[in-house]
Amino acid sequence: MLDEKSQAIPRDCGDCPIRHRAVCARCEADELESLDQIKYYRSFEAGQTVIWAGDKMEFVGSVVTGIATLTQTMEDGRTQMVGLLLPSDFVGRPGRDEAAYDVVATSDVVMCCFRKKPFEDLMGRTPHIAQRLLEMTLDELDAAREWMLVLGRKTAREKIASLLSIIARRDASLKLTKPAGPMVFDLPLTREAMADYLGLTLETVSRQISALKKDGVIQLEGKRHITVPDFDRLLDEAGDDSDGGMLA
Amino acid sequence: MLDEKSQAIPRDCGDCPIRHRAVCARCEADELESLDQIKYYRSFEAGQTVIWAGDKMEFVGSVVTGIATLTQTMEDGRTQMVGLLLPSDFVGRPGRDEAAYDVVATSDVVMCCFRKKPFEDLMGRTPHIAQRLLEMTLDELDAAREWMLVLGRKTAREKIASLLSIIARRDASLKLTKPAGPMVFDLPLTREAMADYLGLTLETVSRQISALKKDGVIQLEGKRHITVPDFDRLLDEAGDDSDGGMLA
DNA sequence: CGGCCTCCTTGATGCAGATCAAAATAACAG
DNA sequence: CTGTTATTTTGATCTGCATCAAGGAGGCCG
């Protein structure tokens, strides 16, 4: 698994798959140049921990490819996932030294990193970066608050449906699928990771997925490959307002 | 209750109780002057809704005095509080037209408001405002994520203890209490509001408060006045790491 | 092929917290 | 002082999900 390190690492920012979504999205050519000079890439294998909570953080950065998770753990081992990091998502917090959460690569991950200090300095001089980071942070705050409703008030079945609809929606926006027809995607998470996200046990996750399958809300091939024949039906099961805020 | 509208509204920003904590905290005299020119105050009575989710937001602003809540409601009436707004907290999101959550005044509230458009323009020209807003948003994101752990993984008793310790800590930081000795404060929330925050029913909230009282973790006079004889004990009940991240 | 992982499913049972119900307390108007 | 309403407490019962316990199913390596 180690020989073929063929994760396509972009040579320069112009080719970067997250050029227009990441923290650099608003940058002009000269600003991009400044960022380019302090950036470096790092790869992580599936399962590897990127940062441990409490560790000193010497870099911040963006997920370029792959999926990582943000989790919090109590002393007795109870675990709650507090964020799912997808390509273009930002890791780290300017102005803080220690990581607040564990960051774990769920799949193989490539990150575009900046040493923290130079990045902070550059951010001070480059409003386009700070503006974009504010915008991204506000989006994350909204996502976190939406998740609070899921965790606090939804049933197990609704929680699963909510998670599936979020993954399905994101996947569609990435692949620019035609809005009609069934949605097909692969679960990027194990049952255990889903449980940690949803505040459930993995057994309950498994049971509810089986139930949604039995009821025809989803179909699955193998353990991970999912087909959603009717997305509105899924949203309904999630207890969401049926319009379901379409983001650009 | 209406005759005596004696909520101390500051005449100018220099006297403002939240001058050094709110979105204007970093502003220089000239920047403050610009803000001053577009600001206006609004008062809300306890129980009044400041903004309805989905409404067009024509202003943003800061809570000056009083307490408000941010809540989300499902069609069937299930409610989740997603934020507690204290003096200096910011309401509204630059770059968005519609409110995402209901904002309700829990006590009488005074807000320092800015019409959205002029504020956005000013923010574009004033990095100190944008920087401060980013900082505050990152803090809120951390708080939201901490709350996800509470909602997803803590028991009812731990949830109550977590809420009490947050309120106690905030209250202490406001009153600059000596760190030693018992902490005394008033609950700013009804049992129902606490339940909405914690993802519980009000009956469970009541029972757990009674249990914490019986076990000597807290004392209460009347329904709202609370004494915490041993704060570490309370933190322990909350399941938090005993150090409990002291913020400046 | 067979042993041994990891990941997932399914079943049986128990319990924390929800739900249903009623009564105690407090604030307030008349 | 008395009825009224909002808030809280407490009790009885129910239930959704956790917990405990066994197997499957697939991938990998010898």
Summarised one tens digit per residue, pLDDT across range A31-89 is 999 999 999 999 999 999 999 999 999 999 999 999 999 999 999 999 999 999 999 99
- Of A150, A177, A195, which marks where a domain is finished? A150
Residues in chain B: 248
Is B83 within 8 Å of B137 (Cβ atoms)? no
B213: the nucleotide nearest its CA (via C1') is D9
Contacts of B23 in chain A (CB under 8 A): none
Q: How far apart are CA A26 and CA B111, in angstroms?
A: 33
Q: Are A146 and A24 in the same domain?
A: yes
* Of the candidates B53, B47, B58, B55, the residue with the CA atom closest to the CA atom of residue B70: B53
The CA-CA-CA angle for residues A169, A68, A111, to 5°, reads 110
For residue A44, what is the domain's CATH number?
A: 2.60.120.10
Distance in Å, residue A3 CA to nucleotide C28 C1': 79
Print the domain residue range for B70: 13-150
Position with higher pLDDT, A246 vs B169 = B169
% residues pLDDT > 90 (chain A): 84
**Which of these three, B117, B150, B183, is where a domain ends?**
B150
Same domain, A203 and A140: no
Domain membership of residue A2 (yes or no) is no
Q: Are residues B120 and B182 in the same domain?
A: no
B243, part of any domain:
no
Position A239 pLDDT exceeds 60: yes
Q: Give yes or no: residues B146 and B186 share one domain.
A: no
How buried is A229 (Cβ within 10 angstroms: 0-12 exposed, 13-18 middle, 19+ buried)?
middle
Rounded average pLDDT over A148-172: 96
Return the residue of A nearest to B142 by Cα. Answer: A100
d(CA A169, CA A165): 6
Residue A1 in domain: no
Q: Are B91 and B42 in contact (CB under 8 A)?
A: no
Q: What is the pLDDT of residue B178?
A: 66
Q: Is residue A198 part of a domain?
A: yes
**Mean pLDDT across A222-240:** 94
Residue A93 lies in a domain: yes
Does residue B211 sit in the same domain as residue B106? Answer: no
State, as a whole number of angstroms, the distance between the CA of A160 and the C1' of D23.
25
Q: Does a structural domain hold residue B245?
A: no
> Quick check: A135 and B95 CB within 8 A?
yes
CB < 7 A to strand D: residues 198-217, chain B: 202-203, 205-207, 209-210
Instruction: Answer whether residue B248 is part of any domain.
Output: no
What stretches in chain B show pLDDT beneath 50?
1-6, 244-248
Interface touch B82/A127, C-beta < 8 Å = no
Q: Are strands A102-105 and A68-73 parallel, antiparallel or unpaired?
A: antiparallel
3-state secondary structure of B197: helix
**Where residue B163 sits, what CATH number does that domain have?**
1.10.10.10
**Signed CA dihedral, B95, B97, B101, B105: sign only:** positive
pLDDT at A177: 66
Q: Which residue has the closest alpha carbon to D9 C1'?
A: B206
pLDDT value, residue A1: 37
Of A95, A122, A150, the residue that ends a domain is A150
- Asked whether residue A125 falls in the same domain as residue A217, the answer is no
A6 pLDDT above the threshold of 90: no
Number of structural domains (chain B) is 2
Q: What is the mean pLDDT of chain A?
A: 91
Measured CA B203 to C1' C16 distance, in angstroms: 13
The answer on A70 and A20 residing in a single domain is: yes
Give the tens place of pLDDT for each residue, A165-219.
Answer: 999 998 888 777 666 788 999 999 999 999 999 999 999 999 999 999 999 999 9
Same domain, B98 and B212: no
Residues in A closer than 8 angstroms to B74, CB to CB, are 149, 153, 239
Interface check for A53 against chain B (CB to CB < 8 A): the answer is: no
Query: Do residues A29 and A140 share a domain?
Result: yes
Of A208, A49, A159, A157, nearest in space to B152 by CA? A159
